[in-house]
A = this chain, B = another copy of it.
Amino acid sequence: MPINTESIMIPDTDRESSQPLDLSRCALAVDIGGTKFAAGIVTELGEIVSSRRIGNPQGSNPEELYDALTDVIDSVLHAVGLESDQPLPMPAVGIATAAPLDRDAGTVSPVNIPAWRGFPLRDRLVERYGLGVRMFGDAVAVAVGEHWRGAARGRRNVLGMVVSTGIGGGVIIDGRVVPGTTGNAGHIGHISVDPFGPPCVCGGIGCLEAVASGTSIAGWARAHGLDVPDAGAVAAAARRGDPIALATFRRAGEAIGLAVAGAVTLLDLDVVVIGGGVAGAGSLLFDPIADGYAKFAGLGYASSPRVIPALLGGDAGLIGAAAVVLQPDSYWPHA
């Protein structure tokens, strides 16, 4: 069935709304988070034409989860006039997934999705949709998305970070994402910010994630007497002026500032972009980050402030996943 691209209009302000959509120049993007599945059709300008997001189903059956994911994907295809049992015009599928993943084997084992352990996601999607699949970490996807179309657009040397349940990131050097020897570069959540700090689940000591993730923020606030279920509640308490909540965010933010100062000093970066749920606390987090940065970035070239909030919000993962398909020279150096 030929695709009737004439009938599909783009609901975006960046281009003429009467311009037809060329799906052969779009990416099918998938974002697998610890708590959500999302899929979208993304244009070469980084516009999301069609997208859908669901909280991922709980349960222990890997096939049920897979069916839920393909339902999401099929629905965004359907919205642009495509069906999964027909040849698709997009060049490839980009998948941003919660860690860990095995890039070579094409399998995923997201920590918060226990039903998927070594699940062969890449091959299953290749088989179903007849497209190549490029799969990489969700935190790297956010860094890539923010570099391609967000807060770090046009900058050459960038660290993108996600401060959420955990802390992850991605590094861009000379405009290209850094994969690292095993495809794992970007894990800023697991660099130590305090040799006498708390033990980390990774086996390290004083890791940034063990101090400043949403989980760690809530845990530290509780340990100091605040009755809160999560980091959002700590932020709410801080906005009411609660001193323990404020101290919790100060401790977390200064630790982020130290880690970021180290990365900027080592790599001489232009800018650090921070997104994720905890970053939604705004100045509660960004003010102590700026103070920590100023305290620990002493050398001249690194000392001016350069930590900024992400712009793309929850769309960053989809846009990053699309970027590896549409801008492979910059964002898919794995090949």
A254 surroundings in chain B (CB, below 8 A):
195
Residues in B with CB closer than 8 Å to A182 are 268, 301
In the complex, the chain B residue whose C-beta lies closest to that of A174 is B333
The answer to whether A186 and B266 have CB atoms under 8 Å apart is yes
From A7-15, A65-73, A290-298, the one touching the partner chain is: A290-298
A179: interface (CB < 8 Å): yes
- By the criterion of a CB under 8 Å from any partner CB, how many residues of chain A are at the interface? 50
Q: How far is the CA of A192 from the CA of B261 in the complex (A)?
A: 8
- Shortest Cβ distance from residue A335 to the other chain B in the assembled complex, whole angstroms: 13
Interface string of A227-269 (1 = CB under 8 A from B): 0000000000000000000000000001100100111011111
> Assuming the A-B contacts A191-B265, A262-B191, A268-B179, are A184 and B301 also in contact, with contact meaning beta carbons closer than 8 angstroms in the complex?
yes
Query: Which segment of A141-149, A202-210, A276-284, A309-317 sits at the interface?
Result: A202-210
Give the residues in chain B near A178, CB-CB below 8 Å.
173-174, 267-268
- Which residues of chain A from 184 to 230 have a CB within 8 Å of any chain B CB? 184-188, 190-195, 200, 202-207
Q: Is A59 interfacial (CB 8 A cutoff)?
A: no
A188 and B295 contact, Cβ closer than 8 Å, known pairs A181-B157, A182-B301: no
Task: Answer whether residue A153 sits at the interface, using C-beta atoms and an 8 A cutoff.
Answer: no
Within the oligomer, what is the number of copies of this chain? Answer: 2
Q: Which residues of B contact A190 (CB under 8 A)?
A: 265, 298-299, 302
A171 CB within 8 Å of chain B = yes
The residue of chain B having its C-beta at the shortest distance from the C-beta of A194 within the complex is B195
Is B299 within 8 A of A185, CB to CB?
no
Per the bound structure, the CA–CA distance linking A197 and B269 in Å amounts to 24
Residues of B within 8 Å of A206, CB to CB, are 296
Residues of B within 8 A of A195 (CB): 193-194, 254-255, 258, 296
> Across the interface, do A296 and B183 meet the contact criterion of CB distance under 8 Å?
no
- Candidate in A178, A267, A333 with the most chain B CB atoms within 10 angstroms: A267
Report the Cα distance A202→B297, complex, angstroms.
8
User: What 19 additional pairs, Cβ within 8 angstroms, besides A173-B178, A191-B261, A203-B303?
Assistant: A157-B181, A173-B173, A178-B267, A178-B268, A180-B267, A180-B301, A184-B299, A184-B302, A185-B266, A187-B265, A190-B299, A191-B265, A192-B258, A192-B296, A200-B298, A203-B299, A204-B298, A204-B299, A205-B295
7 nearest A-B residue pairs (beta carbon):
A180-B268, A204-B298, A202-B298, A203-B298, A191-B262, A185-B268, A184-B301
